Structure 1
């Protein structure tokens, strides 16, 4: 008998060997830790397509750190897998399609046993199979659901307690409705964690050894997907990456914890904040869009710079009472003009909508030196560029750099949060990932100085100590006086709007 075109198309769908192993696994709890390009998000698409076949009218969740991550990266990659299987997004004009996103499905489609209360951030399939998107930067809002399956993308970015106390308990019930092995599966997909807080993802590996009947753990590198990526792509990728980035991002090698940190009091869980977005519904796409919620557009902003020819960077901060917030980290590596001018433009473009265009400038004291061939210092150049874009700025950098030992002690006392009279430091974990990595990976020398060998190595420079220097420069100049260190705060140069 001649096979249909659809059956022939199904046979042409390719999965690599690691993806095949994951899809063939029968365990309810499965983890896929894969390097960049290994196909971990694609396999999530294949897995949900299989679930659609065997779990009609089931409702499950797809969790990510933010809706932005899910709608911009995860769902499009999964759609690629669905479309390889022949599924198409529903077109109301032609009446053809298999799923809709963020909208109530057509009235004649089968409904899930437990329909969502509204269809924002919901993907509905024509047989009632339903995926609810969950954003874990608002973890408390996800509580109380009842789901038949669950998937997590980039699980290493999430808190372990949110996974164990919120997500896993919601996969429950309906055992009388579904007897298929795919029911109540819980899968997570992630890259190797850069930060200690993500190391919990490897617990599935231990559980798979202790209880292989119920737990499955798989690791993969980009070379497992070479037939899709191609040898040339991997060669070009390697040539454009530092050895460390290649090892972690592509080859899936695990990082070890830094034992001799310049910031022993820094704790990513305590100081890092995920809840940095608020959400608004977009009627056109049917999905939720994110806006900054940790930045007050009516308050002035504070910038701290670090100058290097090949990597000029800044961090963006804002004071909220006793809480000092690190909001963003920006940098420029090369430019057709100068890296300083390019960084100023990048900041102005990014925060054009900020209402109160007033800044305090901190940073490397070397920025007060005049540039070669110019009568202006780096900070004067920065202030001119800011003024041209409507920003008023006050320079707060005076005097010499502080004693390294005093700086080390003062900053770590602030981070320790043992004194209620001192301000607390909070880091936007969505936008300050590399600032956190820079802090976590900054060693200390025997003479109390920060070990800056990473700035001279081939490591990707956003992972080096530059961004942590931005942090030091603003925090110590702002709060050093609280530790008996005299700080000069008078502006030494002013330029801006009247």
Structure 2
């Protein structure tokens, strides 16, 4: 007997690298993927994993968890949908994103009878994926799911993830016999700081290699027989092969459950996959890797391409800045839900912008990168609302346009432009400075400009002394600093990668920032270097010394 493919079906080949193949073969109870950039996490791992569990457990309830609701809507969902499409699934035919399937599809309800379609994905067979984010729609004690995927795990707090995993418990009477019931998938690239290093700890509890090898061998034997079934075999031989495949699949299911415990339960299997970009060289090609080597710093090459374990910089100049203490989320979830087709982020995504108040800005200028920070004083807080940049060939005027485009819906088109001597370079013959061009560009975009010249830039030592008191909220400080986690993520990363430099003889200053990251010879991406930290420094110095709320240690107020 020969199994014929349907004449109308087009057979498409898909390349998979070895880490992707192993993930889809092993399918352990708990899998942790720590993969470098461009390794094919979505197409080769997460999308197939989600599809496998949806197909294997019809009418089950799964979950996708990430840090922010905005990230879920603007990135995670889009990549998952693209991954499913690559596998042959069609949106609005095989699955429906954040909406109820039409009646003609005759989709059964999941066993949990999930009610909220606006925060779910529904599959044709009744499987539902709940969309969780820690900042808005986090899992609660009342939730119960059959499997869960955690996206960008390095950004999530360990305890929060463990609390979410407590909800992976439901429908044992329907799916408890399957090894994929209760499965968890943790996906991330290599952590850059101590907060995300918990994902590496799973390597300590990984299942014995012998058991993982047995799973791989069992899957191999299944595939050998499936391939043989596609050839010319007799009917009796086909039945024999099908019977063997069924027995092997039952054995594979038991192997994936792990060893039996004293209480009769199974311990589950744990598989940790470490992959570098080099593992995907067949798909990327040599040129892509050469381009990455040329464009990335040694640090980023080792961390994000080679997937090496690298710790946070020691003696950090900004060690006093804490995401837990100073960061906040201000995502406008209602706007996102009411406008699901809007993918480009603008100020309508932000709840922390006071509509009746102007915006404070400070620039840092360089040939390779121009940066701007944006803030507002709000009662006892000073909020850094945003941090933006443009790279060459774009210049300062392009950054002004980018700012104006982002805040085009802000009703109060007033900008308080603070600048120091670094913005007063220009053509001495016509006495026009860069700051003048920036003011003109704001006005061309329809903004009213209040400009404040701050004079000579402050020293690193004086800033450090001011900021330590300010961020530690010592007595007598003019305000408390807070920053928008989503919009200022690169500013925070650059701050935490800035070391302190001892300068015993330079300009009489005992120490300062180590700004080696700005040196082209180190090949560090400009948005990760100290440039953007200078824009943040200037914004805070402006508010301490040059704003209407300006403050000095002795309590004096200075006119802005």
Asked if structure 2 preserves the Cα contact closer than 8 Å seen for 1:324 and 1:425, the reply is: yes
State whether residues 197 and 269 of structure 1, in contact with CA within 8 Å, keep that contact through their aligned partners in structure 2. no
Establish whether residue 87 from structure 1 lines up as the match of residue 89 from structure 2: yes
Kindly report which structure 2 residues correspond to 1:135-284, keeping only aligned pairs within 5 A, or say none.
Answer: 135-138=133-136, 140=138, 144-165=142-163, 167-178=164-175, 179-208=177-206, 214-280=269-335, 281-282=337-338
Q: C-alpha separation between the residues in 2 aligned to 1:437 and 1:287?
A: 24
Give the SS at the match of 1:177. helix
Structure 1 residues 141, 395: CA separation in 2 closer, same or farther (over 3 Å shift)?
A: farther
Distance in 1, Cα, partners of 2:532 & 2:18: 40
- Indicate which of 370, 375, 382 corresponds to 1:317: 375
Aligned runs of 1:10-49 on 2, under 5 Å? Answer: 12-42=13-43, 43-49=45-51
Counterpart position of 1:455: 518
Match of 2:471 in 1: 415
Match of 1:102 in 2: 98
Alignment of 1:59-138 (within 5 A): 59-90=61-92, 97-107=93-103, 108-138=106-136
CA distance, structure 2, for counterparts of residue 6 and residue 262 of structure 1: 66
TM-score (norm 1): 0.88
Alpha carbons of structure 1 residues 392 and 263: separation in structure 2 relative to 1, 3 Å = same
Offset, 1:185: 0.8
Q: Any conservation in 2 of the 1:208–1:214 contact (CA below 8 Å)? A: yes
Residue 465 of structure 1 corresponds to: 530
Deviation at 1:213, TM superposition (A): 5.2
Aligned to 1:483: 553
Structure 1 pair 180/418, CA: closer, same or farther in 2 (3 Å)?
farther
Q: Give the stretch that moved more between structures: 300-309 or 414-423.
A: 414-423
* Contact 2:31–2:271 (CA under 8 A) maintained in structure 1: yes
Taking a change above 3 Å as real, the CA distance of residues 70 and 139 of structure 1, as seen in their structure-2 partners, is: closer
2: CA distance, partners of 1:133 / 1:448: 48
Look up the match of 2:490: 434
Of 253-262 and 125-134, more deviation after overlay is shown by: 253-262
Tell which structure's C-alpha radius of gyration is larger: 2
Tell me which moved more, 39-48 or 202-211: 202-211
- Tell me how far 1:216 sits from its aligned partner: 2.1
Q: Aligned pair in 2 of structure 1 residues 117, 63: CA closer, same or farther (>3 Å)? A: same
Q: Which moved more, 1:267-276 or 1:51-60?
A: 267-276
| Deviation for aligned residue 1:151 | 0.7
> Quick one: structure 1 residues 122 and 301, their matched pair in 2 at CA, closer, same or farther if it must change by over 3 Å?
same
Residue deviations 1:277-315, cap 9 Å, x none?
433334776999972112222221111111222222111
Q: How far did 1:396 drift? A: 2.6
Distance 1:7 1:23 in 2: 27
Distance in 1, Cα, partners of 2:183 & 2:8: 27
Distance 1:288 1:476 in 2: 32
Per-residue deviation at 1:72? 3.4
Secondary structure of 1:61's counterpart equals: strand
Task: Tell whether the 8 Å contact from 1:67 to 1:288 is kept in structure 2 after alignment.
Answer: no
Q: CA deviation at 1:435?
A: 0.3
- Provide the TM-score with structure 2 as the length reference: 0.79
Is residue 366 of structure 1 aligned with residue 431 of structure 2? Answer: no
What secondary structure does 1:304 align onto?
strand
Note the alpha carbon deviations across 1:316-352, whole angstroms, 9 max, x for none.
112221122112111222236xx12121111112211
The whole-number CA distance in structure 2 between the counterparts of 1:331 and 1:86 is 38
> Displacement of 1:363 after TM fit?
3.9
Work out the number of aligned pairs and report it: 481
Residue 493 of structure 1 corresponds to none
* 2-structure distance, mates of 1:207, 1:484: 56
Is the 8 Å Cα contact of residues 134 and 142 (structure 1) preserved in structure 2? Answer: no
| Structure 2: tracts of 5 or more residues without a match | 209-257, 259-266, 503-509, 546-550
Structure 2 distance, partners of 1:253, 1:482, is 46
Structure 1 stretch displaced more, 244-253 or 317-326:
244-253
Alpha-carbon spacing, 1:307–1:208, altered in 2? closer, same or farther (3 Å): same
Q: How far does residue 354 in structure 1 lie from its aligned partner after superposition?
A: 1.0
Q: SS at the partner of 1:483?
A: coil
Q: Distance in 2 between matches of 1:375 and 1:309?
A: 21
Tell me the distance in 2 between the aligned counterparts of 1:283 and 1:361. Answer: 32
Q: 5+ unaligned residues in a row in structure 1: which ranges?
A: 91-96, 491-498
CA distance in 1, matches of 2:80, 2:8: 21
Query: How far apart, in 1, do the equivalents of 2:518 and 2:469 lie?
Result: 26
Rounded to whole Å, the distance in 2 between the matches of 1:117 and 1:428 is: 32
Q: Distance in 2 between matches of 1:366 and 1:465?
A: 15
Q: Is the 8 A contact 2:192 2:311 kept in 1?
A: no
Q: Is the 8 A contact 1:13 1:84 kept in 2?
A: no
Q: Is the 8 A contact 2:420 2:456 kept in 1?
A: no
Among candidates 335, 344, 351, match of residue 293 of structure 1: 351
